[in-house]
Amino acid sequence: MSLIQTLTDPMNIAGAVAAGACFATIVTVAAPLLAEDRLNSRLKEVVKRREELRKKSRAELNKTGGGLVRPGANRWVNDIVERLQLQRRLADDTLSEKLVRAGLRGPAAQTRFYFYRAALPIGFGVAAFIYMTLFGDRFQLSGQVRLLIIMCAVVLGFYAPSLYLANRAQNRKDKIMSAFPDSLDMLLICVESGMSIEAALQRVGREIAPASVELAEEFALTTAELSYLPERRMAYENLARRTNHPGVKSVAMALTQAEKYGTPLGGALRVMAKENRDLRLSEAEKKAAALPAKLTVPMIVFFLPVLFMVIMGPALIRISEMMSK
């Protein structure tokens, strides 16, 4: 009975309520002082993760090569270029852009380009001169014609490195764009699942590597640039500049706007993926529409003679038998 009276005593209840209120006030005031600084720890984790991504991306690029040219390769080529000052004599302002689009990076790629631009005209000219000297009499060519052929060989040797770079850049762009719409779909799934754009690019690059090594290389390089470039916009612009394709440029612009204005990235990627699929389909339709015109000459040269032989052959044989009788 004394315990019940103690618990039901108004003074005791008021004292318990006052004690609870004092304890709650003390906890409320002291909670910010006792709480851990989670913001700084999370920022440190973010910086640490970015450094890990940057180091890993660089290690993957150095391991796979990825079209990178090591600066220590072909020292004798570097010596020849430096002694003859070919970079100054054969200067090309757009060379860096062409090499990047072809997947060749580093100063050694420029050195080798200038070396081949200087060496191939000499090599082609000497080969044409030897051929004209040994076999020119067989074709009964005059001296002017022989000189013209040698000059054409020299000109071809001069423009051969540029033609090689243009062809390699075009093939590389075609390989990238063949797998780019599918990579955008995977990137959309990764972003909507809560992954950051760096982690999404790294994951998609790893998954798309069996289908397109070039696109995986570009994603890895973009991930590294997002980690150490001062502005993230520069990484997206570099991606568009290296690929030189309107589809990639539109995606880079959408990513830049999403970073700048905070627009939803998933919706932009979904629209860009649809546009790139339509663009790939339209390019396939253009190739299919141009196929009949390209097949005209082979059909005339190879198919029609055989067709005439099959049709006219039996009639000619019968006519010859009748004439012999």
Q: Do residues 206 and 64 lie in contact, with contact meaning Cβ atoms separated by under 8 Å? A: no
Nearest CA-CA partner of 104 in 120, 116, 89 = 116
d(Cα 233, Cα 237) in Å, to the nearest integer?
Answer: 6
d(Cα 168, Cα 164) in Å, to the nearest integer?
Answer: 6
Helix (H) or strand (E) holding 290: helix 265-298
CA angle 279, 284, 289 (to 5 degrees): 125
CA dihedral sign, ordered 21, 26, 32, 38: negative
d(Cα 7, Cα 21) in Å, to the nearest integer?
Answer: 18
Residue 246, both tokens: 């309107």
> What integer pLDDT is reported at residue 305 of this predicted model?
83
Secondary structure of 222-282 in HEC code, one letter for each residue: HHHHHHHCCCHHHHHHHHHHHHCCHHHHHHHHHHHHHHHHCCCHHHHHHHHHHHHHHHHHH
Tell me which amino acid residue 104 is. L
Domain ranges of the chain: 1-32, 62-279
Q: What is the mean pLDDT of each run of 10 residues along the chain (325 residues)?
A: 65 74 75 57 60 65 47 64 71 78 79 84 89 77 83 90 89 85 86 84 86 85 83 86 83 83 79 80 83 84 83 85 80
d(Cα 76, Cα 267) in Å, to the nearest integer?
Answer: 53
Which residue is it, tokens 């009964």? 140
**Residue 105 forms beta bridges with which residues?**
68
> What integer pLDDT is reported at residue 70 of this predicted model?
43
CB atoms within 10 A of CB 214: 23
> What integer pLDDT is reported at residue 97 of this predicted model?
81
The model scores a pTM over 0.75:
no
Q: Is 69 left (phi over 0), alpha (psi -120 to 50) or beta?
A: beta
> What integer pLDDT is reported at residue 46 of this predicted model?
54
Q: Do residues 74 and 112 lie in contact, with contact meaning Cβ atoms separated by under 8 Å? A: yes
Q: Do residues 101 and 242 lie in contact, with contact meaning Cβ atoms separated by under 8 Å? A: yes
Tell me which amino acid residue 123 is. G
Q: What are phi and psi of 68, to 5 degrees?
A: -75, 140
CA angle 98, 99, 105 (to 5 degrees): 150
CA dihedral sign, ordered 251, 254, 256, 262: negative
Residues 6+ apart with CB under 8 A from 303: none
Q: What are phi and psi of 85, to 5 degrees?
A: 55, 50
Nearest CA-CA partner of 168 in 118, 122, 208, 214 = 214
